[in-house]
Structures are given as structure tokens and as C-alpha cells.
Amino acid sequence: MLPHKKIHDISVMLGEESIDYPGDTPYSRKQLSAIAEGGMYDLSSLELSAHSGTHIDAPAHFMARGRTIDRYEIGDFILPALVVDIDDPDAVRPEAVAGLALQTGEALLFRTQNSASGTCRKGVFSECYVHLSPEAARACVAKRASLVGLDYVTIEPYGNEAFEAHRTLLQAGVLILEGINLDHVPAGRYTLVCLPLKMKNAEASPVRAVLLEWTDAAQACNHSAGKSRI
Ligand SMILES: [Zn+2]
């Protein structure tokens, strides 16, 4: 038993809460056989985008010959993480990042109004949501975050075809965690676990993302150990 106080599930439910990005393959689960209908077993098939629901983008998403999901160590998806509250109703700005005391390699997760309003888990795409500004993305790189997360299915503002925030982070080797739900997760320090599927050459993958909240004693102990908090 790990000495954690609580596990926060920050994933959205596929097929109910998840949001299909316009133009992407929508998530669907097709029932091929059903016991309730006289079948020997329940059996279903899935159709989805690599960016369906809560998911990680790797550099290959925007970079030619960029690093793919399978070329990471599993430990790269188990990280110390800082959850930060963002009040700005439009975007995460660099000012919100500048003053943070981020440890090198820590994940940075932004909890915006997308979580409180339910926009991040309402099942349909909305053009109005809090995004990550390119300047804030640059500030995250300067802070040497290893992963940046936002509580919406994309970090870009709607209709932006330059994908500057994606490019800035991925070019610097910073993973992007999109489609998380941070409602009911207080700002603070956690251990993030977000394991992708083991897929060859994938530029992204759905993940089950959780935050482990530690007891104060375990937190202090992890700090003095200075590395992985598991
Ligand atoms: Zn994505």
C-alpha cells in the first residue's frame, strides 16, 4: 500500500464526457456480441483518434522524425506534478507561470474555468474555453517543465492554425497532457501517473491519468529523497 492520502482520477469518461476535436475520428464503441441479446459473450470494437479523451501528445505530433510515444521510458509518465489555479477566463498567461517555483522535470497542470464550468467534460466541443497562450508555453519551457497539462481537449485557441503552443512545447521535448478534468483537485503538489498505450510509432495516445496526493510525512520524505515520488 502506497502512503498516499488520496488518488484523484483526472481522466474524462470516453463515450460520455470526452470531446471529439472537430475533424478527428470520433470515439465510438461498437457492440459486436451481447449476452443480453443471446450472444455467448459481450464483445465490442473501438474506433477512436489517438487524441481521444484524456491523452498525451509526443513531439512526433508536430515534428518530422520527432520522438514517438514508444520511445519514452515508462518512468517519463510518472512525474512529480504541480497543479496551479488559473483565474483568467480566456487563457493561461506567462504571468501565471513566471512566479512558480517549479522543480526541474516537474509536470505543470493548469486548472482553469474549463474544470469548474464543466466545459472540459461536457461531451461536445465548445469554441469557447481557456487555452494556453504561446507566451505561457514559452514560460513553461523556460521553467524546464517535463510535461504541461490543460483541462481541455486542446491547448490551442479555437481556429488557430499556427499551433504555436504545441510547437513551442513539443520542439523543446515537453510532453502535452490534454483533456484532463481538474474539478475537485486543489492546487498543490502531487505525483502524476499518466500511462499511454504501448503503441509503435504513435504520435499520441489516450491515457488514464491520476494524481496521487501524499500525506504530509510522505511528501517531506519524497522531497528529501529528491526524485520519483513512488
Ligand atoms: Zn492531442
Q: Which CATH number covers residue 136?
A: 3.50.30.50
Q: What pLDDT is attached to residue 198?
A: 97
Instruction: Check residue 198 and report its DSSP letter.
Output: -
Element holding 4 (H helix, E strand): strand 4-9
Give the distance (Å) from ligand 1 centre to CA of residue 23. Answer: 13
Average pLDDT for 189-202: 98
184 given a catalytic annotation: no
Range of the domain at 184: 4-18+50-225
Asked if residue 33 is part of any domain, the answer here is no
Percent of the chain with pLDDT over 90: 88
Asked if residue 96 is part of any domain, the answer here is yes
147-150 and 4-9 beta bridge pairing? unpaired
> Which amino acid, 94?
P
What is the pTM assigned to this prediction?
Answer: 0.93
Asked if residue 27 is part of any domain, the answer here is no
State yes or no: pLDDT of 181 exceeds 50. Answer: yes
Asked if residue 166 is part of any domain, the answer here is yes
Give the distance (Å) from ligand 1 centre to CA of residue 176. Answer: 8
Query: Is-contact 137 127, C-beta < 8 A?
Result: no
Given the residues 8, 61, 131, 166, the one annotated as active site = 61
Give the distance (Å) from ligand 1 centre to CA of residue 93. Answer: 20
Average pLDDT for 193-220: 91
**Residue-averaged pLDDT of the chain:** 93
Query: Is-contact 147 141, C-beta < 8 A?
Result: no
Give the distance (Å) from ligand 1 centre to CA of residue 206. Answer: 9
User: Please, which residues have CB less than 5 A from ligand 1, an ion?
Assistant: 51, 57, 178
Query: Is-contact 129 153, C-beta < 8 A?
Result: no
Q: What pLDDT is attached to residue 229?
A: 45
Give the distance (Å) from ligand 1 centre to CA of residue 179. Answer: 8
> Which amino acid, 189?
R
Look at the chain and report how many structural domains it folds into: 1
Asked if residue 43 is part of any domain, the answer here is no
